[in-house]
């Protein structure tokens, strides 16, 4: 999916909602049963209930890897269940070099059928460019994340220089295929988001941390908006939507949560025009 199509989809759906598909077997409604089949049934119901409200879905690969070999099939089937018009993001946070990185990229883009994959920048250029070599695919690089541990390394060098996350933004813009980059920036500290937006005005940002983690949609939009990209934001909502109800009405409850988010997004988009 190219950038213009993503922008059009956001305007058409009046939404920049990304649904995080991180299915915890312990929290899946009991009536769906258990095991990999229950996970797949859960995902399909969530996708069906939210398909007109979301522009992206983001399965976190760890949740599938933990299911064993069957998890691989569940991930592929989940990707296949996402409507074609939505961006399919494999949240894999992979990071390895050269041919090894190419194998991870092939797994994500070819085997799983993802449009985009999250990548960790630690090892530098030769760990990122193999992903960027895939045309019509997106590489979403970790920049400033929303977890407490982000303070350990992502801000290193800020005293007397620039923080690491800023160097990641600036250096990665020089990589071959950099026009296929997006960045992960946490919602919990919107002040970072404003700084990120200043460095990368022309790139989409994937923003986790709204909802269960405490980030505010309003603050995210105020800080990170890029009007020419219909905001340039993909705001991920995970647990608060997936587990809105633990009963047989889980999909309906998830839809209500998605609607609540989408309506707020529609208002922001309307105001920004």
The set of catalytic residues is 93
The number of residues making up the chain comes to 273
How far is C-alpha 59 from the geometric centre of its chain's CA atoms? 8
Shortest CB 248 distance to a copy of itself, Å? 25
Cα separation, 216 vs 190, whole angstroms: 9
95/231 with CB nearer a copy of itself: 95
Q: Are 101 and 127 in contact (CB under 8 A)?
A: yes
Helix spans in 163-238 (H): 164-172, 190-199, 217-224
Cα separation, 221 vs 245, whole angstroms: 27
Shortest CB 79 distance to a copy of itself, Å? 13
Q: Are 239 and 250 in contact (CB under 8 A)?
A: no
Shortest CB 66 distance to a copy of itself, Å? 4
Cα separation, 188 vs 190, whole angstroms: 6
181/265 with CB nearer a copy of itself: 181
Cα separation, 184 vs 173, whole angstroms: 14
Shortest CB 126 distance to a copy of itself, Å? 4
Q: Are 238 and 22 in contact (CB under 8 A)?
A: yes
How far is C-alpha 131 from the geometric centre of its chain's CA atoms? 16
**Contacting positions for a copy of itself (CB under 8 A):** 22, 24, 60, 62-63, 65-66, 68-70, 72-73, 93-101, 103-104, 106-107, 111, 120-128, 142, 145, 147-154, 156-157, 159-161, 164, 167-168, 171
Shortest CB 105 distance to a copy of itself, Å? 9
31/156 with CB nearer a copy of itself: 156
252: DSSP letter: H
Shortest CB 27 distance to a copy of itself, Å? 11
Q: Are 143 and 169 in contact (CB under 8 A)?
A: yes
> Which segments within the chain are labelled E, that is strand?
17-21, 56-59, 87-94, 116-119, 138-144, 181-185, 205-207, 233-237
């Amino acid at each position: 999916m190219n950038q213009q199509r993503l922008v059009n989809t956001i305007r058409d759906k009046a939404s920049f909602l990304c649904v995080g598909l991180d299915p915890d077997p312990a929290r899946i409604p009991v009536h769906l049963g258990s095991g990999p089949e229950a996970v797949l049934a859960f995902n399909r119901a969530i996708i069906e209930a939210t398909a007109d409200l979301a522009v992206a879905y983001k399965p976190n690969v760890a949740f599938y890897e933990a299911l064993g070999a069957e998890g691989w099939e569940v991930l592929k089937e989940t990707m296949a269940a996402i409507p074609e018009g939505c961006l399919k993001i494999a949240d894999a946070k992979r990071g390895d070099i050269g041919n090894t990185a190419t194998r991870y990229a092939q797994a994500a883009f070819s085997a799983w059928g993802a449009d985009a994959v999250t990548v960790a920048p630690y090892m530098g250029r030769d760990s990122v460019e193999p992903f960027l070599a895939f045309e019509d695919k997106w590489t979403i690089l970790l920049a400033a994340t929303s977890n407490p541990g982000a303070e350990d390394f992502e801000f290193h060098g800020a005293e007397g220089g620039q923080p690491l996350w800023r160097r990641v933004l600036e250096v990665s813009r020089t990589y071959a295929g950099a026009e296929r980059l997006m960045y992960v920036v946490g919602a919990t500290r919107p002040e970072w988001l404003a700084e990120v937006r200043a460095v990368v005005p022309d790139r989409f940002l994937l923003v986790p941390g709204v909802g269960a983690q405490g980030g505010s949609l309003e603050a995210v939009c105020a800080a990170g908006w890029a009007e020419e990209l219909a905001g340039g934001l993909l705001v991920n909502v995970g647990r608060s939507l997936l587990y809105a109800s633990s009963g047989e009405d889980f999909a309906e409850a998830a839809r209500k949560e998605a609607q609540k988010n989408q309506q707020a997004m529609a208002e922001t988009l309307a105001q920004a025009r």
